Structure 1
Amino acid sequence: MTTLIIGNSRTWEMVGDLAALTSDQLRGGGCAAQRMLWFARDGDVLVLPFAPPADYLSYVTHLTGTRASSLTTVIPPPGSLGSDILTPDRLTDPHFLDNLRGVLGSRPPTRIFAVYKDLSITGLARTLGAEAALPGYPFSAQAGDALVNSKAGFRALAAGAGVPTAPGTVVARPEQALEAIADLFDQGHSAIVKMEFNGGGLGNEVLSRTDGVVPTGAPRTVVLPDRPALQSYVQRRWEWLTAGHAHRLVVERFFPRSTTIYAEFIVTDEAAQLIGVGDLLMQPTAIGGVLPAQTIDAETRAELLDGARRLVESLRVLGYRGVVCADAIATVDKQVLFTEINCRLTGSTHLHLALYGRVVDPGYREKRIFLERFGWAVPSFTAAVERLGTAGLAYDPTSRTGVVITSNDVDADGTVACCAIADEPQAAEELHRRRGELFVDQSA
């Protein structure tokens, strides 16, 4: 029973134009791929862009109870963008395929578990004679995952399922964008424009006629006081917004001071299983998350789940299989409006399936708050682990509380991500406060 785990954490259909990513962003994608270690079990085979750091491998497998020595990692030769992420050319390299076949031997994997199932992943499954091991292979092999990860496609799917979204439209030409944005401005609203393919809010911009609109879910607000300014913006930014005219653009009404919530599922042939409802922390783009959601009441949660289940059932009927995260905003007047779906592993899937599903046992996890924050600057991963332990903040399997380092981005930007596990929100915040003081005595 071998699972082939593939860390293709950045693809063109996840984050847009890969060639436009900086070297630090590419390296960050490779560091994110190492989170696939959280899903590994004894005897599994991992395909990663580069070898996992030994200290991170040991740390994760100790918490999950996996024998590190039983895991096999296969690293493809560098590709068109180097060795930081798994580009399609790396996954089709003949030497890599020979090595992978040698590792698997005469037995194809019983399951293939990838971050995102694009055509390079379905092609790999076909090459290995393991189509049946990849959930939803027939759909994914026809580029179906691109269809359901499109923010433009999402609006059509949501409309067909009767799921509420922010007022807006999908445009394909600059003049259409101009009129859609101007229409929202004329109604007294700000707008948010979204690249068809991107993640974490990084492909979005908030547009406003006036100053003072704080962006949420986008890196910045652009002030466009009149129609000439709007025309100039569309002309200047059209190529970026459409990834060089390759994609469409979503234009929606922007709702200030809204909170971002989500419901995540696993879709199988038979049904969709809910694995988590949480808050996404925005400042102004994603900086972490909370499981279970703390910002919404029971009525709002019910509305979220009602819409999310309708979306997920539509995806199941289409033929998609795997993880689905339905994102929404809860507005200040208590509307629940869906904003996108992510049909891939998300930045929270490891919380649901590994920390919530394996590290914290079933008898306690319903009584725990999981609060993850990105961006803790540390001298090294090992130093962070040691300092947490010395301070008495490290996760304690007896009390089922403490801080877990979930992602190791030290090689990219000098930071790690941490999840505080506690019995109440205030206690989780206090763990993060104390954790944040551990390296104030030295530069990171």
Structure 2
Amino acid sequence: MTTLHIGNTQTEEMSGDPALLSAEQLRFSSASSQRVLWFARDGDVAVVPVAPQETYVAYVTGLTGVDASSLRLVVPPPGHVGGTVLTSDRLADAAFRAELRTALGDRPPARVQAYYPDTAVVSLARALGAAEAVPGHAFLAQGGAVNANSKALFRAVAAGLGIPVAPGAIAAWPWQAERAVTEQFEAGYPVMLKQELHSASEGNEILSPKDGLSPFGAERVVVLQSPEALRSYLDERWSWLTDDGRGRVIVERYVAGARAGYAEYLVTDDGVEFTGEGELLMAPLLDGIVIPIPDLTPAARTGLRELTRRLCEAYRAIGYRGTMSVDGLITPEGGVLLNETNSRLSGSTHLHGVIGPRLAGPDRTLLDRGGLAVPSFAEAVARLADSGLAFDPSSRTGAILTCDYTHVNGTVRYCLAAADADAARNLERELRGVFAMAARN
């Protein structure tokens, strides 16, 4: 039974017009699409924006036990942003669709798994005679992915269910945002402003009425010490905050000292299945993931799982099907506040779905991080093997290179499997030491 994997890690529905992103952002997102290979099984077909290096394909399939020669990778024509990400025009291209039908053996796929299941994905599946192979296709065909990923809808649903969230409001107009920010400022709190549709904290900014606050979950803190300064800020940044009027702005109280975590689920016709949890490491934007969340009290873990499951049940009731990763904050007092849902494959789905259960096992801690500078992917694999730090299936510990960014910025992403969080951090120090030493020699 063939699965069609679609590596659309940056779409118009998800983050606005990709043409407005920098060339490096587009190349980075394009490289991230390689994660679809972790899900592939013998005979599957994958649509990717750019063909991955053969060394990367061989490395991933060598760990997953998949016959690389049985896979079919299809790259559509470039499209309007130059062939970096899978925009809707690339998925609609007639020549590409003909090539894809050939790769599928002129048979519809049994399942379609897209990173972001938008209307373009449903349209493609329908053209292949496989609309029902897309989980929740009827909901998604009506633009359901936009709503299921909306931070504004999340707050409305959470409030309606009585799920705790940080105090705040949804603003469609600058005056609404000004009122909501002022309310928090007057109570002595800074605020986080969020774009309605974005990912990895890139659409966030923190506003504070006083100096001294370090950013966490946003690139910067903007100090605004007067009503006039706030109005000037909103006038200047409103287009960015709303993606040029496409979305609303979420204003929420900034919770200093909180830890960021999430719980991930698979939402199906049969119910909601918990697949894993993790801590989101911020420095100040997303810098890594630790699975499971270390040093979490039983009460906080229970609270996170109960609240996130209730939310997923609500989205299941309106027709969403697929992966849902629900983010939350663990407050310094040990409470749990939810703050958004990501109704798509996340940056950790391959960890919960493949690397954790199939390679490392459920009793291992995983530390996933990026930014390891290497001379090439092939050289990184070789040095990892020579160092003795490469993943060992017998001990179920070691380093796995999860994504290849060498053609973007000369780095790779890695996942460390270890007995616990301390052991994972020690392994990370060894790993970085090996590559730092090699770079000096």
Partners of 1:25 and 1:68 in 2: CA distance: 29
Following superposition, the deviation at residue 412 of structure 1 comes to: 1.5
Alignment of 1:409-428 (within 5 A): 409-428=405-424
In the alignment, structure 1 residue 85 sits paired with structure 2 residue 85 = yes
Name the amino acid aligned to 2:399. Answer: V
Partners of 2:286 and 2:75 in 1: CA distance: 30
Q: Counterpart of 1:399?
A: 395
Partners of 2:401 and 2:108 in 1: CA distance: 33
Alignment of 1:166-245 (within 5 A): 166-245=166-245
Partners of 1:130 and 1:424 in 2: CA distance: 43
Following superposition, the deviation at residue 254 of structure 1 comes to: 0.2
Name the amino acid aligned to 1:102. Answer: T
Q: Counterpart of 2:116?
A: 116
Q: Counterpart of 1:264?
A: 264
Unaligned 5+ runs, structure 2 = none
Structure 2 residue corresponding to 1:376, chosen from 367, 372, 376: 372
Contact 2:290 2:421 (C-alpha < 8 Å) held by counterparts: no
Contact 2:135 2:322 (C-alpha < 8 Å) held by counterparts: yes
Distance 1:105 1:367, change over 3 A: closer
Contact 1:45 1:74 (C-alpha < 8 Å) held by counterparts: yes
Partners of 2:357 and 2:11 in 1: CA distance: 27
Following superposition, the deviation at residue 297 of structure 1 comes to: 1.1
Partners of 1:155 and 1:12 in 2: CA distance: 22
Following superposition, the deviation at residue 14 of structure 1 comes to: 2.5
Q: Counterpart of 1:291?
A: 291
Name the amino acid aligned to 1:400. Answer: R
Q: SS at 1:324's partner residue? A: strand
Q: Deviations over 1:332-363 (max 9, x none)?
A: 12221101000000010010011012223xxx
Q: Deviations over 1:416-443 (max 9, x none)?
A: 1111101121111111001111232426
Following superposition, the deviation at residue 410 of structure 1 comes to: 1.2
Deviates more, 1:434-443 or 1:67-76: 434-443
Q: Counterpart of 1:71?
A: 71
Deviates more, 1:193-202 or 1:11-20: 11-20
Q: Counterpart of 1:100?
A: 100
Partners of 1:354 and 1:408 in 2: CA distance: 17
Structure 2 residue corresponding to 1:431, chosen from 427, 430, 435: 427
Alignment of 1:247-326 (within 5 A): 247-326=247-326
Q: Deviations over 1:371-394 (max 9, x none)?
A: 111111111111111111111000
Percent identity between the two aligned chains: 47
Contact 1:25 1:412 (C-alpha < 8 Å) held by counterparts: no
Partners of 1:61 and 1:178 in 2: CA distance: 52
- The runs of 4+ residues in structure 1 deviating greater than 3 Å are none
Name the amino acid aligned to 2:266. Answer: I
Partners of 1:341 and 1:80 in 2: CA distance: 29
Taking only aligned residues, the RMSD between alpha carbons, in angstroms, comes to: 1.1
Q: Counterpart of 1:6?
A: 6
Partners of 1:239 and 1:135 in 2: CA distance: 34
Q: SS at 1:437's partner residue? A: helix
Partners of 1:224 and 1:313 in 2: CA distance: 40
Partners of 1:17 and 1:168 in 2: CA distance: 28
What TM-score, normalized to structure 2?
Answer: 0.98
Contact 1:61 1:68 (C-alpha < 8 Å) held by counterparts: yes
Q: Counterpart of 2:28?
A: 28
Following superposition, the deviation at residue 106 of structure 1 comes to: 3.4
Contact 1:13 1:149 (C-alpha < 8 Å) held by counterparts: no
Partners of 2:295 and 2:25 in 1: CA distance: 31
Distance 1:197 1:295, change over 3 A: farther
